[in-house]
Structure 1
Amino acid sequence: MDFGLTQEQDMIVETTRSFVENELYPHEAQVERTGHLDMDLVREIQGKAIAAGLYAANIPEEFGGAGLDTPTWLLYEKELGRANYALHWTCVARPSNILCAGTPEQRARYLEPCVAGEKWDCLAMTEPGAGSDLRGMKASAKQDGSDWVLNGTKHFISHADIADFTIAFMATGEEDTPRGKKKLITAFFVDKGTPGYVVRDGYRNVSHRGYTNAVLEFDNCRIPAENVLGEVHKGFEVANTWLGATRLQVGATCLGRADRAFRHSVEWAATREQFGQPIGKFQGVSFKLADMAMEMKAAELMIMEAGWKFDQGTVSDADMAMAKLKATEMLAMVADEAIQIHGGMGLMDELPLERIWRDARIERIWEGTSEIQRHIISRALLRPFGA
């Protein structure tokens, strides 16, 4: 494995970082203080991102995206992660790779407009009574002639308020297993405006201000069979095939935020004087910086190794679980120590540290909680022994 960056990777990192600093940073304070992301601003920045070649960078080239390999994509995500989440996610959008699993007709209807910046998608899995236990979902779809009728509720659905359609995962049957009955899941395209499909405001969140969540309600929502994504009862299979690297994406954005907090901390430690010398001269501060740097390096190596293995076809669920777990817990530590180094100033909104600290908390929950990641890792260790 080559630890050096190619000329192309260097260019992508520099281009993305410059875009983030010049086009996203100036709007952070307004979004943080209002909790609102103006759609005129979104369209303005979106146009610039498309012109810069930064839009839909995760989508394979054959489907109109930039077609970045996984390590390069993660470097790109790290740079975007430095900014307010709502700004980089909405304005420099990365459509869900699961759209690539559609038929040619579905790709023309859903994927291509997302790649062009004409539409947004959202994924609907989580329910009020089924978070980590997706097999426990109660929302269902039943076949009625050539149609499917959807009923149930989803919540915590990111940016569903602006999404033109959702990919809804619904229970469509059961199968017997040695551990009892297990629900079969199917994925469906549901367009906004479909009768029986309602998007309601979600919850107020202290993390990622401006990045919304919503509650989706399906009440006898009838859709045609052509809206099934993948095969009936194979929703998890299509998700596992096309969403495999999303945990690495979460980890990569954590790397960017941690690096931003760290840079502020180093500069502050070198210039802030107390008792006649820079505070970085005191071990109580300098050792914090050393620990932060070490944890950041370890997390980045784990993320990049998993990304490299993803492209080699050798990555395991445990590899990605370890990388996500390390990166998210590293960010929590770095954000907290950055505030400690800055003292009271760290909690003022003149600096991005209090935002990074708040935003860090959700990373250990979504895309699989830290407990779920530890479960995946420990099961991989014990499985060879039949335990």
Structure 2
Amino acid sequence: MDFGLTEEQAMIVETTRAFVENELYPHEAEVERTGHLRMDLIKELQAKAIEAGLYAANLPEEVGGAGLDTLTWLLYEKELGRANYALHWTCVARPSNILLAGNDEQREKYLYPCIRGEKWDCLAMTEPGAGSDLRGMKASAREDGDDFILNGTKHFISHADLADFTIVFMATGEEQTPRGPKKKITAFFVDKGTKGFTVREGYRNVSHRGYTNAVLEFDDCRVNRRQVLGEVHKGFDVANDWLGATRLQVASTCLGRAERALAHAVSYAAEREQFGQKIGKFQGISFKLADMAMELKAAELLTREAGWKYDQGTVTEADMSMAKLKATEVLAFIADEAIQIHGGMGLMDELPLERIWRDARVERIWEGTSEIQRHIISREMLRAHGA
């Protein structure tokens, strides 16, 4: 594995960072204080991102994306991750690559408009009573001729208020396994405005202001068989085939914010004077900086290795879980220590530190909690011994 960046990678990092600093940073204060991302601002920044070649960069060239390999994509995600989440996720959208699993008709209707910036997508899995246990979902779909009738509730669905359609996962049957009965899952495209499909305002969230969540309600919502993504009863196969790298995406955006927080801490420690000297000279501060830098490098190496192995076809579930777990917990650690170094000023909204600190909390929960990641890692270790 080569730890240096290629000329192309260095250019992508430089271009993305410049866009984030020049186009996204100036709007952070407004979004943080209002909790709202204006549609006119979205459209303005979206157009600039498309012009810069940064929009839908996660998708292959043959469908209109940038065709980045996984490692380069993660470097790009890290730079975007420096900014307010709502700004970079909405205005520099990366449509879910699960859309690539669609057939030609579905790609025309859903994938390509997302790549062109004409539509937004969202994924709906989580339910109020299921949480991390996706097989425990109660929302269901039953066949009725050439249609399916969907019923149930999903919640914590990111930016569903903005999305033009959702990819929703529903229980469509049950199968017997050595560990007891398990539900069969099917994925469906459901367009906003479909009768029986309601998007309700979600919960107020301490993390990622301006990035909304919603409650989705399905009440005898009828969709045609043509709206099945993949095969009936094979929804988990679709998710496993196309959503595996999302943990690495979370890890990378966390690295960007952690690096930003550390830079603020180093700058402040080098400038702030107490008792006749720079506070960075005190061991109580200098040791913090050293630990922050070391932990950040460890998280970045885990993430880069997993990205590299993903492209080699050798990545494991444990590799991705280690990267996600380490990066999210390192972000929380660095954000907290950066505030401690700044003292009272660290908690003021003149600096991004209090936001980074708040935003860090959700990262250890979504895309699999820290406990789930530890379970995946230990399970892989034990399986090698037949346990």
TM-score (norm 1): 1.00
Aligned to 1:10: 10
Deviations 1:229-264 (A, max 9, x none): 000010010111111100000000000000000000
Aligned to 1:109: 109
Shift of 1:63: 1.3
Aligned to 1:211: 211
- Pairwise mapping of residues 208-357 of structure 1 onto structure 2 (< 5 A)? 208-357=208-357
For residue 384 of structure 2, give the secondary structure of its aligned residue in structure 1: helix
4+ long deviations beyond 4 Å: none
Aligned to 2:131: 131
Deviations 1:354-381 (A, max 9, x none): 0000000000000000000000000001
- Measured in 1, the distance between the counterparts of 2:384 and 2:302 equals 23
- Pairwise mapping of residues 179-198 of structure 1 onto structure 2 (< 5 A)? 179-198=179-198
Which runs of 5 or more residues in structure 2 are unaligned?
Answer: none
- Measured in 2, the distance between the counterparts of 1:166 and 1:50 equals 23
Deviations 1:305-326 (A, max 9, x none): 0000001110000000000000
For residue 204 of structure 1, give the secondary structure of its aligned residue in structure 2: coil
Letter in 2 for 1:165: F
Q: Does 1:166 align with 2:166?
A: yes
Aligned to 2:143: 143
Aligned to 1:372: 372
For residue 318 of structure 2, give the secondary structure of its aligned residue in structure 1: helix
- Measured in 2, the distance between the counterparts of 1:369 and 1:59 equals 26
For residue 8 of structure 2, give the secondary structure of its aligned residue in structure 1: helix
Shift of 1:386: 2.1
Deviations 1:271-327 (A, max 9, x none): 000000000000000000000000000000000000000011100000000000000
- Measured in 2, the distance between the counterparts of 1:30 and 1:118 equals 25
Aligned to 1:74: 74
For residue 148 of structure 1, give the secondary structure of its aligned residue in structure 2: strand
Shift of 1:62: 1.3
Shift of 1:5: 0.2
Which runs of 5 or more residues in structure 1 are unaligned?
Answer: none
For residue 217 of structure 2, give the secondary structure of its aligned residue in structure 1: strand
- Measured in 2, the distance between the counterparts of 1:257 and 1:2 equals 24
Shift of 1:183: 0.3
Aligned length: 387
- Measured in 2, the distance between the counterparts of 1:61 and 1:307 equals 19
Aligned to 1:63: 63
Aligned to 1:34: 34
For residue 287 of structure 2, give the secondary structure of its aligned residue in structure 1: helix
For residue 354 of structure 1, give the secondary structure of its aligned residue in structure 2: helix
Letter in 1 for 2:198: V
- Measured in 2, the distance between the counterparts of 1:119 and 1:304 equals 31
Deviations 1:126-172 (A, max 9, x none): 00001100000000000000000000000000000010000000000
Q: Percent of aligned positions with the same letter in both sequences?
A: 82
- Measured in 2, the distance between the counterparts of 1:243 and 1:255 equals 20
Deviations 1:183-206 (A, max 9, x none): 000000000000000000000001
Letter in 1 for 2:245: A
